[in-house]
């Protein structure tokens, strides 16, 4: 009987325990997992030619996970690239270069008791892009002005925008973007040549951020059109060879220079010869039998730069530089009655007047003695001093031509050869 009572007691205890557990479950029910909060702020934050990085926000707790899907269409064809992403942001890889994709994300939680997946709402798809993986195949310089250059290039597959970087000094590079395949770069420095880089890219959904290619094409030494040449001078005139040497200031962007020789002794001047150089050195020689000993001439210069087709882009002409030979002295003798040296010289066609210079040294110290429209004079002084008997004097004549309201000398740099005579009183 005692054993039976014991069994009865055990059954009673179990019954009471079960009842108590039922009371606890009824009083404190287990909370089922709730539906995750919606995805917000889904966007692309980085991109390469084979991958994109996206980020998003979600108010779900640390137990919320995410299914990441991608497609080439906004509404169909999605494939799962990550079934169990735990946090934002994430990379999506193995994509094609220069393409647009669409990404959507669905949050979910797992019920701890039933292991049931509870899905949240799938986000609206967001457009993402990969960068192009190529550079333009060609970059061509087509034209220039004195402060601009125009370039064009071949389209890059997958690119819908291009970055143009240009500079003369890489530490001061300038950048701009364009959706086309040509651009005119303006407000450039005069007489400079620029380095230009072109890089293709694809715009993010926000329209401002861009996934840029890692490849670029560049072209060095793209010139603006040269400015007007200055500093023109005829530094040599070899009368016996009918040849002159012309030089000018350097134009940094020039690939060469063009020189023109004209008459300057007729009512209507005419061109005699054109010489075009392919050297950046600013000097040339003009040889022609048309250069006569007793005529005035004029020369002018312009620089040119080459575009990608080797077409010459000419700058403006320089101002005219006039040139003439020194007239030959046909008569030089003492003139005791006038207490001086009488000289006469050949007339120079185109000259309006002549300036006579005198010195008591052959190579220096020349002072202007007289300006005259005649072709002869009597030299009475050297500087402020009267001529001294027994002393040798040197003299030369510089023809001048009136151009506008000014008189210009035609003497070349080596034309100041002189005549001499020992004065005897």
What's the pLDDT tens digit per position in 328-347?
A: 898 888 887 678 999 999 99
Residue 189 shares a structural domain with residue 212: yes
Q: Angle at the Cα of 408 (from 404 to 411), degrees rounded to 5?
A: 155
pLDDT at 18 over 80: no
Which 8-state DSSP code applies to residue 295?
Answer: B
Which 8-state DSSP code applies to residue 136?
Answer: -
Query: Percentage of the chain surpassing pLDDT 90?
Result: 77
- Compute the mean pLDDT over every residue in the chain, rounded to the nearest whole number: 90
Domain boundary (70, 95, 129) is at 129
The total of other beta-carbon atoms located within 10 Å of residue 46's CB is 15
Whether residue 3 lies inside any domain: the answer is no
Name, in order, each residue with C-beta under 8 angstroms of 417's C-beta and a sequence gap of 6 or more: 326, 396
Whether residue 25 lies inside any domain: the answer is no
Q: Alpha-carbon distance 118 to 112, whole Å?
A: 11
Are 275 and 291 in contact by the 8 Å Cβ rule? The answer is no
Question: 130-183 pLDDT, tens per residue?
Answer: 999 999 999 999 999 999 999 999 999 999 999 999 999 999 999 999 999 999
> What dihedral angle (degrees, nearest 10) is formed by the CA atoms of 372, 378, 379, 380?
-120
The total of other beta-carbon atoms located within 10 Å of residue 99's CB is 16
Question: 189-233 pLDDT, tens per residue?
Answer: 999 999 999 999 999 998 889 999 999 999 999 999 999 999 999
Tokens of 179: 């959706």
Residue 87 shares a structural domain with residue 48: yes
CATH number of the domain within which 190 lies: 2.60.40.10
Whether residue 399 lies inside any domain: the answer is yes
Q: Alpha-carbon distance 285 to 303, whole Å?
A: 16
Question: 98-140 pLDDT, tens per residue?
Answer: 999 999 999 999 988 888 999 999 999 999 999 999 999 999 9
Domain boundary (257, 291, 323) is at 323
User: Number of folded domains in the chain?
Assistant: 4
Q: Angle at the Cα of 160 (from 155 to 161), degrees rounded to 5?
A: 90
Residue 338 shares a structural domain with residue 399: yes
pLDDT at 334: 83
Are 92 and 130 in contact by the 8 Å Cβ rule? The answer is no
Whether residue 10 lies inside any domain: the answer is no
pLDDT at 127: 96
Whether residue 309 lies inside any domain: the answer is yes
Question: 414-425 pLDDT, tens per residue?
Answer: 766 789 999 987
5 by DSSP, 3-state: which?
A: helix
Whether residue 200 lies inside any domain: the answer is yes
| Domain that includes residue 347, residue range | 329-422
Q: Alpha-carbon distance 259 to 277, whole Å?
A: 8
Residue 46 shares a structural domain with residue 104: yes
Whether residue 249 lies inside any domain: the answer is yes
Which 8-state DSSP code applies to residue 339?
Answer: T
27 by DSSP, 3-state: which?
A: helix
Domain boundary (108, 129, 150) is at 129
Question: 351-373 pLDDT, tens per residue?
Answer: 999 999 999 999 899 999 999 99
Whether residue 265 lies inside any domain: the answer is yes
Residue 113 shares a structural domain with residue 152: no
What is the CB-side half-sphere exposure of residue 265 using CA atoms within 13 A?
Answer: 20
Residue 333 shares a structural domain with residue 418: yes
């Amino acid at each position: 009987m005692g054993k039976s009572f014991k069994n009865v007691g055990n059954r009673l205890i179990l019954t009471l325990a079960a009842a108590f557990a039922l009371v606890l479950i009824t009083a404190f029910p287990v909370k089922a997992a709730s539906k995750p909060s919606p995805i917000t702020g889904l966007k692309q934050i980085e991109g390469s030619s084979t991958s994109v990085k996206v980020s998003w926000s979600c108010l779900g707790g640390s137990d919320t996970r995410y299914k990441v899907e991608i497609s080439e269409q906004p509404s169909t064809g999605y494939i799962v690239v990550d079934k169990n992403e735990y946090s934002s942001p994430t990379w999506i890889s193995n994509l094609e270069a220069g393409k647009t994709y669409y990404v959507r994300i669905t949050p979910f939680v797992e019920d701890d008791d039933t292991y049931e997946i509870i899905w949240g709402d799938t986000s609206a798809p967001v457009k993402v892009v990969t960068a192009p993986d190529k550079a333009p195949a060609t970059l061509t310089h087509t034209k220039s002005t004195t402060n601009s250059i125009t370039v064009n290039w071949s389209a890059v597959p997958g690119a819908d925008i291009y970055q143009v970087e240009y500079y003369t000094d890489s530490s001061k590079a300038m950048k701009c973007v364009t959706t086309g395949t040509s651009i005119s770069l303006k407000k450039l420095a005069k007489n400079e040549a620029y380095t230009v880089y072109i890089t293709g890219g694809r715009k993010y959904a926000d329209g401002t951020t861009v996934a840029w290619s890692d490849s670029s094409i560049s072209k060095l030494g793209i010139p603006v059109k040269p400015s007007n040449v200055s500093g023109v001078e005829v530094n040599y005139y070899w009368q016996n060879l009918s040849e002159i040497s012309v030089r000018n200031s350097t134009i940094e962007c020039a690939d060469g220079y063009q020189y023109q020789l004209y008459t300057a002794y007729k009512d209507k001047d005419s061109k005699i010869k054109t010489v075009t150089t392919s050297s950046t050195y600013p000097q040339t020689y003009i040889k022609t039998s048309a250069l006569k000993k007793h005529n005035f001439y004029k020369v002018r210069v312009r620089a040119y730069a080459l575009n990608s087709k080797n077409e010459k882009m000419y700058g403006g002409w320089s101002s005219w530089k006039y040139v003439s030979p020194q007239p030959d002295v046909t008569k030089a003798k003492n003139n005791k009655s006038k207490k001086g040296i009488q000289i006469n010289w050949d007339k120079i066609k185109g000259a309006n007047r002549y300036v006579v210079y005198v010195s008591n040294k052959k190579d220096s110290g020349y002072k202007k003695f007289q300006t005259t429209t005649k072709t002869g004079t009597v030299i009475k002084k050297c500087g402020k001093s009267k001529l001294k008997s027994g002393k040798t004097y040197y003299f030369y004549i510089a023809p001048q031509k009136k151009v506008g309201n000014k008189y210009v000398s035609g003497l070349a740099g080596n034309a100041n050869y002189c005549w001499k005579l020992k004065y005897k009183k």
